[in-house]
Structure 1
Amino acid sequence: MDSSLFDYHLPEDRIAQEPAAQRDASRLLVVHREERRIEHRHFSDLPDYLGDGDSLFRNNARVLPARLFAQRPTGGAAECLLLRPASNDGLEWWTLLRPGKKLPVGSSFARDGYFQAFVEEKNDNAEYRVRFELANHSSVAALADELGKMPLPPYIARERSDQRDEADKERYQTIYASAEKSVAAAAPTAGLHFTPKIVAQLEAQGATFHDLALHVGMGTFKPLQTERIEDHQIHREIYEISESTQSALRDDSGRRKVCIGTTSVRSVEDYLAKSDRIVPGNFVSEAAIFIYPPRQFLGVDALITNFHQPNSTLLCLVSAFLDPHGTSGIDWLKAIYAEAIERKYRFLSYGDAMLIL
């Protein structure tokens, strides 16, 4: 399949630079697959479509404020983006470094009164393993919570010191993010629209929420880079699913299974493809699943998602969900996106949402 099928024109002014004033004030484009029609609503209307008998699966990974600024011994600036721990003691991390050419293996950078960092290794993905020596914090994660800046996607413009930094720390995080799951380098953005009020409304109507954690990596922003979809190397992400969430996924009572975001879909579909039983404790694995049309879904009946970048693997996933039996979802998704652009929907991480039923 030609990867150019997943390209479309996204005007720059449609890329949301800030979230809606209130989380649930974002718009909601509702897609009815069986009737092949769409509606234009707001996210606060979500309880009109979901409720009794629905099981909602959400990614409760927390985004670490992972951008750290420091200085090189020469006095030049250094920027370190924390990706994932590289040691059990929390003092070594795989990172991205800028400027990489001036921070080779064996070099160092520091922030007076807080830490010194030493570059130990560089891998084939241009990631650097860095060892930290901390002055006052018990872990690098604790250091980042105090000093770090949120790792917003590159299409959201921010200055090094921006008046919106504190707001980003709240809004580029779901309300149900778990402090014990500070494992995400990017937010599971479909969940950003939820408020305590909407969660309470849905639960009062008989819906249940089930948590899982996918360690969202920077690979989620990697575009399609091959002419054929089948040749693209999908990014890999660790996920964990508790015993109770596994049980909900295997419930055959007819409850509709609703995934909040593509990260939840990746976790659910990878788990069900790999395991035929409930695993005691947590099921932990690495998702390397690439979902593109046509694709039968094992555990997803409805999907809440944002509007995605051109040439992205997430467009492949959503297209497949629109038509699991064929490839018509590709053109349909582009038609939906064209109407959304015309109606001035806001796209990407801080943008509006879709509900696909």
Structure 2
Amino acid sequence: MNKSDFYYDLPKEQIAQTPVEPRDSARLLVYDRKTDAVTHRHFYDLPNLLRADDLLVVNNTKVLPARVTGVKVDTGAQISFLLHKRVDKNTWETLCRPAKRAKVGTVLRFAPDMTGVVTAEGEEGARTLRFEYDGVFEEILNRIGEVPLPHYIHKQLKSIDRYQTVYADKVGSSAAPTAGLHFTERLISELKQKGIEFAEVLLHVGLGTFLPVKTDDVENHKMHSEYYCVTDGAAAQINAAKAAGRRVIAVGTTSVRVLESSSTDDGIVHAGSGDTSIFIYPPYKFKAVDGLITNFHLPESTLIMLVSALIGREKTLDLYNTAVAEGYRFFSFGDAMLIVGRI
């Protein structure tokens, strides 16, 4: 299967530059796999679109101010780093620009109380940084870092909190799990009052989000690993729902990756933590996921490939083309799609 099999035309003006307000007023394309029906609603309609016994699985990661700029101590040149994965207390894997200036041994000053040295080089501008600092790393990072927005967003946010889900809790992501950005506290309360249950899992979104698929043959693409965690309580919630025949609906592709990484072929989700580099594309047999709430993703991305694995490549492209024709807004701050109906 080729990368070009997942291409679609998108007018630039439909790439959302700012989120809608309130959060849950985004449009929602609803696709029922069982009936093949497509309807157009809004995200605030979710309580009327889900069953009373559905289980929504959300990713409670929180975006850190992961973009930092250092000054080379020998030349004064500035280099920008995007922290994407913590190796140990003082060491991070990063993306670096301009990478040619950051050779192994390069020493940089990020703040009066923080320096760093490049200890390893990788492909696509990847660099390993070891920091030395006085005080608490997270406090320094909050002072000097910026929350990174995707490259296709060119407008500044009025509040960076708008790039966090309302249930964000565990700091560690380089990007937000954007399907969850549509939820409000009020909407969550309405859903819970209806009987819909929420289970929280964790996946820290890292480097893979920022790198395009560069191999023509999809099978040759390698995903970067990301940290995930499923607690005993979350696993019990999900398995109880599965055992009762209830639908498990993932909120976002990151939740899908956690569920599919932590489940066995019998559909049982196991508690635990670690790194996952799972790459989901057609044909893939899902073990734990019955439905999906997701945004509209970039052409030829691993995310549109994941959606295609769930509902088929042709149907995915058909729905995307419908969304384009209907004027939906795309990508991180865009509209959403709900996929339900077992087949």
The TM-score normalised by the length of structure 2 is 0.92
State the identity %. 40
User: Shift in Å at residue 219 of structure 1?
Assistant: 0.6
Shift of 1:262: 0.6
CA distance in 2, matches of 1:319, 1:5: 10
Would you say the 8 A contact 1:115–1:132 is kept in 2?
A: yes
Aligned: 1:82 with 2:65 = no
Cα shift readout 1:121-142 (whole Å, capped 9, x = no counterpart): 223564222222224x411x32
1:291 aligns with one of 256, 259, 280: 280
Q: Helix, strand or coil: the match of 1:294?
A: coil
Check conservation: 2:97, 2:125, Cα contact below 8 A.
Answer: no
Superposition map of 1:246-257 within 5 A: 246-251=235-240, 252-257=243-248
Please give the alpha-carbon distance, in whole angstroms, between the structure 1 residues aligned to 2:218 and 2:20.
34
Describe how 1:181-200 pairs up with structure 2 within 5 A.
181-200=170-189
Question: C-alpha separation between the residues in 1 aligned to 2:111 and 2:231?
Answer: 41
- From 201, 213, 217, the counterpart of 1:228: 217
Q: Is 1:122 the equivalent of 2:121?
A: yes
**Change in 2 beyond 3 A, CA 1:92/1:233:** closer
Counterpart in 2 of 1:353? 336
Aligned to 1:262: 253
Partner residue of 2:50? 50
Q: What SS does the corresponding residue of 1:109 show, helix, strand or coil?
A: strand
> Could you tell which deviates more after superposition, 220-229 or 191-200?
220-229
Aligned partner of 2:319 in structure 1 is 336
Q: What corresponds to 1:93 in structure 2?
A: 92
Gaps of 5+ in 1: 323-328
Determine helix, strand or coil for the equivalent of 1:209: strand
Distance 1:221 1:122, change over 3 A: closer
Show the counterpart of 1:218: 207
**Paired residue for 1:326?**
none
In structure 1, the partner of 2:17 is: 17
Letter in 2 for 1:79: S
Is 1:205 paired with 2:194? Answer: yes
Among residues 127, 146, 150, which one is paired with 1:149 in the alignment?
146
What is the Cα deviation at residue 299 of structure 1?
1.2
In the TM superposition, residue 337 of structure 1 has moved relative to its aligned partner by 1.1
Q: Aligned AA for 1:77?
A: Q
The 5-angstrom pairing of residues 99-114 of structure 1 reads 99-114=98-113
| Distance in 1, Cα, partners of 2:90 & 2:315 | 48
Alpha-carbon contact 1:186-1:218 (below 8 Å) kept: no
Once the two structures are superposed, residues 196-255 of structure 1 have per-residue CA deviations (whole angstroms, 9 ceiling, x without a partner) of 011101110001111110121121233333333233223322211001111122220112
1:334 alignment partner, SS class: helix
Tell me how far 1:58 sits from its aligned partner.
0.6
The 1:130/1:223 distance shift into structure 2, 3 A limit, reads closer
The residue number in structure 2 matching 1:37 is 37
Matched AA of 2:40: H
> Contact 2:265/2:287 (CA < 8 Å) preserved in 1?
no
- The separation in 2 between residues aligned to 1:69 and 1:232, in whole angstroms, is 30
AA matched with 1:268: L
C-alpha contact (below 8 Å) 1:14/1:346 kept by paired residues: yes
Indicate if the aligned counterparts of 2:68 and 2:81 stay in contact, CA closer than 8 A. yes
* Structure 2 unmatched runs, 5+: none
**2: distance between equivalents of 1:25 and 1:258?**
20
Which one of 157, 171, 186 corresponds to residue 162 of structure 2? 171
The structural deviation recorded for 1:146 is 2.3
